[in-house]
């Protein structure tokens, strides 16, 4: 850390960073604008950035004693969060990401809800805002039921209770310490894995609309494919470790991927069924795309490509995760009962 005063603070904000030179000043400025009636510190865990991120953070830390920079040699997100938790001096802990802009009442609203009791984790919706062609189309996709995959974390006007589909959040520090922080075996999907442990321990997780954070989705199909492959890959691991975290909707993307070879080379009835399923899927995606783009013929094909990329990449990642970590048999057995 750049400095380590001994006194306690009310809230520690943990921010993993890696090569964020392009946006780090804007990110920090938004965090400094938090309106909170108490003491706060901002811990930036730098994964040994290779651009100008670290010097910028150290410059900002010299001007604001609330900012501290922590080394994260392992470079992964969960290792960064755990490093931040070890250094945190706050009774409450908030997680923020460098690629999102949080409302100025994010910390205060989260802490106030925790103080009212009966919950262990207060989260907010992730609000996609694209500024490039593909980024805008991904934002459109995530605003539809076909894009969010049944998750309820993407908005609404009232507090809702959520399962393992969470985005960042605010906790009492004692909650994170009781659950031993984030599991570093989850480079992705680490919040969902932690949420599974919190729920298994009897804790409740809520999503508040006033904690909604704006972020910019990937602006290329290749970047989107890589992102969703990782999501699916580690969702398979999460489902194996925590069977109760798996939903029926998680089976649809891998089913789509498996339908492709079955439609080409499967035996008679299986081949026919797979082809029918793929035709129905493409018709459904096309219909949702036309509706979401309000019939704009120039945008609907691109949105269709986004949907297919998201679903196929997630499904392929899930299947590869099943090969790597083993199939989530206990999760599959409990699905008919769930």
29 burial class (0-12, 13-18, 19+ CB within 10 angstroms)? exposed
| Cα atoms in the 13 Å half-sphere on the side-chain side of 210 | 11
Query: pLDDT tens for residues 101-130?
Result: 999 999 999 999 999 999 999 999 989 988
Query: pLDDT tens for residues 136-146?
Result: 999 999 988 88
The 3-state secondary structure of 70-138, one letter per residue? EECCCCCHHHHHHHHHHHCCEEEEEECCCCEECCCCHHHHHHHHHHCCCCCEEECCEEECCCCHHHHHH
pLDDT for position 1: 38
Q: Within the chain, what is the greatest distance between any pair of CA atoms?
A: 72
**Chain position carrying tokens 């729920």:** 199
Q: pLDDT band at residue 337, thresholds of 50, 70 and 90?
A: low
Q: Which helix (H) or strand (E) holds 44?
A: strand 40-46
Query: pLDDT tens for residues 266-318?
Result: 898 999 999 999 999 999 999 999 999 886 778 899 999 999 999 999 999 99
Long-range contacts: 152-156, Cβ < 8 Å, 24+?
152/207, 153/123, 153/125, 153/126, 153/207, 154/125, 154/126, 154/127, 155/125, 155/127, 155/209, 155/212, 156/125, 156/207, 156/209
Tokens describing residue 201:
């321990």
SS3 of residue 205 by DSSP: strand
- Name residue 11's beta-bridge partners: 40, 92
Percent of the chain with pLDDT over 90: 78
pLDDT for position 276: 96
pLDDT for position 131: 84
Phi, psi of 298 (to 5 degrees): -75, -25
- Residue 43: name the closest of 78, 77, 93, 104 by CA: 93
**Mean pLDDT on 178-198:** 94
Residue 135 pLDDT more than 80? yes
> pTM of the full predicted structure?
0.88
Q: pLDDT band at residue 5, thresholds of 50, 70 and 90?
A: very low
The 3-state secondary structure of 253-304, one letter per residue? HHHHHHHHHHHHHCCHHHHHHHHHHHHHHHHHHHHHHHHHCCCCCCCHHHHH
**Mean pLDDT on 71-92:** 96
Q: Which helix (H) or strand (E) holds 160?
A: strand 160-161
> In this structure, are strands 160-161 and 205-207 parallel, antiparallel, or unpaired?
antiparallel
Tokens describing residue 272:
């026919």
pLDDT for position 153: 47
pLDDT for position 157: 64
- The mean predicted confidence, pLDDT, of the chain is 91
Tokens describing residue 3:
């400095």
**Mean pLDDT on 205-233:** 93
pLDDT for position 156: 55
pLDDT for position 324: 97
Give the sheet arrangement for strand 213-215, strand by strand: 100-101, 213-215, 126-128
178, 194 in Cβ contact below 8 A? no
Relative orientation angle of helices 53-63 and 24-32, to the nearest 10 degrees: 30
Which residues have CB under 8 Å from 210's CB, separation 6+?
A: 103, 105, 109, 124
- Residue 218: name the closest of 202, 204, 229, 203 by CA: 229
């Amino acid at each position: 850390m750049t400095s380590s005063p001994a006194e306690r603070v009310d809230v520690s904000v943990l921010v993993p960073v890696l090569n964020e030179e392009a946006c780090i000043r804007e990110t920090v400025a938004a965090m400094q604008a938090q309106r909170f009636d108490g003491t706060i510190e901002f811990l930036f865990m730098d994964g040994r950035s290779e651009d100008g991120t670290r010097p910028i953070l150290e410059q900002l830390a010299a001007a604001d004693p609330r900012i501290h920079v922590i080394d994260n040699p392992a470079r992964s997100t969960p290792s960064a969060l755990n490093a931040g938790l070890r250094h945190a001096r706050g009774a409450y802990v908030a997680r923020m990401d460098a690629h999102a802009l949080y409302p100025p009442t994010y910390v205060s609203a989260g802490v106030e809800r925790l103080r009212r009791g009966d919950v262990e984790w207060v989260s907010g919706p992730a609000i996609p805002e694209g500024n490039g062609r593909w980024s805008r189309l991904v934002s459109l996709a995530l605003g539809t039921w076909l894009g969010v995959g049944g998750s309820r974390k993407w908005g609404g006007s009232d507090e809702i209770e959520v399962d393992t589909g969470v985005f960042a959040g605010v906790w009492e520090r004692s909650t994170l310490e009781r659950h031993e922080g984030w599991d570093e075996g989850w480079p992705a999907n680490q919040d969902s894995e932690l949420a599974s442990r919190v729920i298994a321990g009897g804790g409740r997780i809520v999503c508040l609309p006033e904690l909604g954070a704006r972020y910019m989705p990937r602006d290329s199909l290749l970047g989107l494919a890589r992102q969703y492959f990782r999501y699916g890959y580690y969702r398979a691991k999460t489902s194996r470790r925590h069977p109760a975290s798996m939903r029926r909707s998680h089976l649809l993307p891998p089913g789509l991927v498996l339908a492709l070879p079955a439609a080409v080379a499967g035996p008679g009835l299986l081949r026919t069924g797979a082809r029918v399923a793929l035709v129905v899927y493409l018709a459904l995606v096309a219909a949702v795309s036309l509706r979401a783009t309000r019939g704009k013929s120039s945008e609907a094909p691109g949105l269709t490509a986004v949907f297919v990329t998201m679903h196929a990449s997630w499904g392929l990642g899930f299947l590869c995760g099943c090969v790597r970590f083993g199939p989530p048999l206990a999760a599959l057995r409990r699905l008919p009962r769930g």
